[in-house]
Amino acid sequence: MYTAVRIQEKGQVTIPTDIRRKFSLKKGDLVTFVATDSGIVIKSLDQAADELLAGLEMELEQRNIPLKKVMERSMQKGGDAAVAEFGLSEGEKETLYQAVSLRAQSAVKAIRENARKYGTDKLTDEDIEAEIRAVRAGKP
């Protein structure tokens, strides 16, 4: 399917309704633009992260390095420590960091949506401190 859209003054484009519906895109969704040899592809953050990690996993498997171990070490010691420990190339490092960044953005979006859904986005620091004191005092 080909649909022409105009690029607006600030570089904005409107994704046509039929495409938004087909891919379940809605207001507030985060997407990523992927530059390819044949053009630009728009993907969800999770899809892009999955693809980056799948490609990285294939590269690492050739050296018998489990992606799961790299991810665990990244969580425990940080990305730079994992890169050094497993001897990741500059390209592998960049792929790892891009994938983790996309996952983090997706997680933050989900947390914000849940906060709005349950009204916790309106809590003040004082409310949170009061809740902590109540829990510590055994009064949930």
Average pLDDT over residues 62-70: 96
The β-bridge partners of 36 are: 39
Decide which of 51 and 127 is more confident. Answer: 51
Q: Please state, in angstroms and rounded to a whole number, the distance separating the CA atoms of residues 138 and 136.
A: 5
Task: Write down the pLDDT at residue 110.
Answer: 86
Give residue-wise pLDDT tens across range 86-115: 999 999 999 999 999 999 998 888 888 888
Instruction: State pTM to two decimals.
Output: 0.74
